[in-house]
Amino acid sequence: MTAKRRGAQLGMLAFAVLIVMGAYASVGLGINGKVPSGMLGYGLGLGGLMLAAYLVLAKWAPWADPLLLPLVTLVNGIGLVMIYRIELAGQAGASATNQLMWTALGVVMFSATLIVLKDHRALQRLTYTAGFVGVVLMAIPALLPGSLSEVQGAKIWIRIGGFSIQPGEFAKLALVVFFAGYLVAKRDVLALAGRRLLFIDLPRARDLGPVLITWGFAIATLVLEKDLGTSLLLFGAFIAMLYIATQRTSWVLIGILLFVGGAFLAGQVFSHVEARFNVWLHAEDPALYDAGGGSYQLMQGMFAMGSGGILGTGLGQGYPKLIPLSFSDFIFSATGEELGLTGLMAILMIYALIVQRGLRTSLAARDPFTKLLAGGLSFILAWQVFIIVGGVTRLIPLTGLVTPFMSAGGSALLANWMLIALLVRMSDAARRPPPQAIQDEGMTQVMQR
């Protein structure tokens, strides 16, 4: 019998807010030797925001997983503190006020999603609408002129006036919904075995269609938007969901082969893909370090993490300004300098816990659509963390992606809070006890004999 554990959830939420406030105070002490003057307002603001989120959750999804909201609050809060800290260091572009505003909007989106979407299975009916929306969102930056869509080489923005959104982040959600709906409908066909090669059952050739289309879409993203990160993110999520739906390892192998092959071909044609690989392999090479578009940024991130060592310099005591874009793509490295290996392990642990709670929801879910959607959303979160954190730590080639909930950026925050809202909604459904059979009458009859 599942308990609601609401008291525990509120306690953990308060604890998360408390940690973030401690970190905020620590930044002030580290830089100016005193607690920041806005401490109380900031604390009340974040606390109030999270309390509101909690109340919405308690009313509209009372059976939801009690861990998700506190975990997300903690990682979002640490990101906020880091951006505040980087803004104080004077790096252009870092704005804690903006990030706090986007966090507030993110919580509004979270609440709105929970209130409006009483039953997530309604999304299954919107499968093809979601697919259409996802493709359109992805396509807009590619079709817009560069002046409205391109920032630092990646053509992934819609910029109107002083306002910019990254439609890919929302497309991510729409496409996972589409994949889930589509695969539930087609999984029986896609699971049919074709020829057997070595130990693996290959699918039938005629079923390759959807995979090839998605693949073409991913490669188009790579080529037209110069965005290896999103391309890898979406294709990986599709393959993982295909595997969950069909249980066929062959799909995974086909997917990997297709993507690696496609990326290799693209690398032959487009220099930036090959450059990424070179930077990854030879980052410490002085020639690459000094070259424009070389390994300077990556190495600055590595220097930051190395200098942080095991315990870090302490908040406010490092030099995040040395890393270009330390508030967005490289926020993980900047955090590593000040919180050290210890802090990074804690952050990775928080992400891992969020993902595992999501996957647990998927396992506990009763219908295939919920299983696929929860599994897909959890995987895409893990996959995104893996791609960006792996990239900045030189585990894999660096591809620009947002570090979920930490990097500065409104679109990503809104989209990821919606992602969490969906997981919360589904966990509520999965954990809600089934209606009790009424047995009292029978008992009464026995007594009456």
First to last CA, the chain: 33
Segment interacting with other proteins (CB under 8 A) among 259-267, 341-349, 412-420, 423-431: 341-349
Segment interacting with other proteins (CB under 8 A) among 135-143, 198-206, 380-388, 402-410: 380-388
Per-residue contact string for residues 240-279; x = within reach of other proteins by CB under 8 A: x--xxxxx--------------------------------
Q: How many residues bind other proteins, per CB under 8 A? A: 53
Q: Which is nearer to other proteins, 246 or 328 (CB)?
A: 246
Categorise residue 401: left if φ over 0, alpha if ψ from -120 to 50, beta otherwise. Answer: beta
Among positions 378, 407, 411, 416, the unique one binding other proteins when judged by CB under 8 A: 378
Shortest distance (Å) from residue 364 CB to other proteins: 10
| Spatial distance between the Cα atoms of 351 and 205, rounded to a whole number of angstroms | 38
| Spatial distance between the Cα atoms of 162 and 374, rounded to a whole number of angstroms | 35
Q: Which is nearer to other proteins, 79 or 308 (CB)?
A: 308
Tokens of 198: 């070595």
Q: Could you say whether residue 382 binds other proteins (CB under 8 A)?
A: yes
Give which of 354, 345, 337 is closest to 417, Cα–Cα.
354
Q: Could you say whether residue 351 binds other proteins (CB under 8 A)?
A: yes
Tokens 């300077």 locate to 296
Shortest distance (Å) from residue 16 CB to other proteins: 20
Q: Could you say whether residue 82 binds other proteins (CB under 8 A)?
A: no
Coil vs helix vs strand at 338: helix
Coil vs helix vs strand at 194: strand
The residues near 196 (Cβ < 8 Å, ≥ 6 apart) are 202
Among positions 112, 319, 324, 432, the unique one binding other proteins when judged by CB under 8 A: 319
Q: Where are the alpha helices (DSSP H) in 365-439?
A: 368-392, 410-431
| Spatial distance between the Cα atoms of 432 and 201, rounded to a whole number of angstroms | 38
Q: What is the amino acid identity at position 134?
A: G
Q: Interface residues with other proteins (CB under 8 A)?
A: 26, 29-30, 33, 240, 243-247, 289, 299, 302-303, 305-310, 314, 316-317, 319, 322, 336, 340-341, 344-345, 348, 351-352, 355-356, 359, 362-363, 368, 371-372, 375, 378-379, 382-383, 385-386, 389-390, 393-395
